[in-house]
Amino acid sequence: MSQPIRLEFAPRNARAELLTRLQNAPLQHAEALLSGYDLLQQLHDRGVLDLLRGGLGSSDKVLSIVVDAAKAPEAINATRNLLILSKIAFTLEPSLLEAIVTAVPNCLAQAREQKPLSLWQMFKKLCSRDTRRALSAMLGVVESFGKSLGSLGSAELRPADSDLAEIEPAAELAGRGR
């Protein structure tokens, strides 16, 4: 009868494997290490590492400055406006935006090179179908803007419409109690 062959492996030494990989790393990744050292030296030469070290050392103060700046009404309005403008940009067709982007520099270059149009030439341009189409679109936007200004004028405006207006009086009361 046959006997089973015993196959025994030596216990794996993970620490020795890691040590071997660490010793071989400079040889295998020499170019990447040199590039990393070069980058580190450039950051040091420009003072970026000192700036980061200082920022980490005073991270609480930096964080409070950032939070105070973010609580300002201007920052809140800027964030809201940026979100609204991004909605506009996302709804525009890329071909329309590309046409506008290419038309503006071309028209400005032509205006520099040519003498100004006469009144008759401007009138003829105003009567063209494309100009009337663009003017209609712009007048629609201006009309909507005017309507929104009218509704803002009739509504009662409070000095602070943000959620922070509710927080600030509570903070002032807490400060007076001290």
Structure confidence at residue 177 (pLDDT): 46
Cα separation, 126 vs 138, in Å, equals 14
- Residue spans of alpha helices (H) in 46-163: 48-57, 59-71, 73-91, 94-113, 119-126, 129-154
Q: What is the mean pLDDT of residues 121-141?
A: 92
Structure confidence at residue 174 (pLDDT): 44
Structure confidence at residue 57 (pLDDT): 85
Q: What is the mean pLDDT of residues 135-153?
A: 87
pLDDT at 123 over 50: yes
Structure confidence at residue 92 (pLDDT): 86
**Which tens digits make up the pLDDT trace of 7-33?**
888 888 889 889 998 888 888 889 999
Structure confidence at residue 163 (pLDDT): 47
Structure confidence at residue 11 (pLDDT): 83
Structure confidence at residue 36 (pLDDT): 94
Structure confidence at residue 97 (pLDDT): 85
Q: What is the mean pLDDT of residues 80-85?
A: 93
Q: Are 26 and 33 in contact (CB under 8 A)?
A: yes
Q: What is the mean pLDDT of residues 166-177?
A: 45
Structure confidence at residue 176 (pLDDT): 45
Q: How far is CA 28 from CA 17, 32, 107, 160, in A?
A: 15, 9, 57, 61
Structure confidence at residue 5 (pLDDT): 84
Please report, for the chain, the start and end positions of each structural domain, with discontinuous segments joined by +. 32-91, 94-150
**Which tens digits make up the pLDDT trace of 26-55?**
888 899 999 999 999 999 999 999 988 888
The pTM assigned to this predicted structure is 0.41
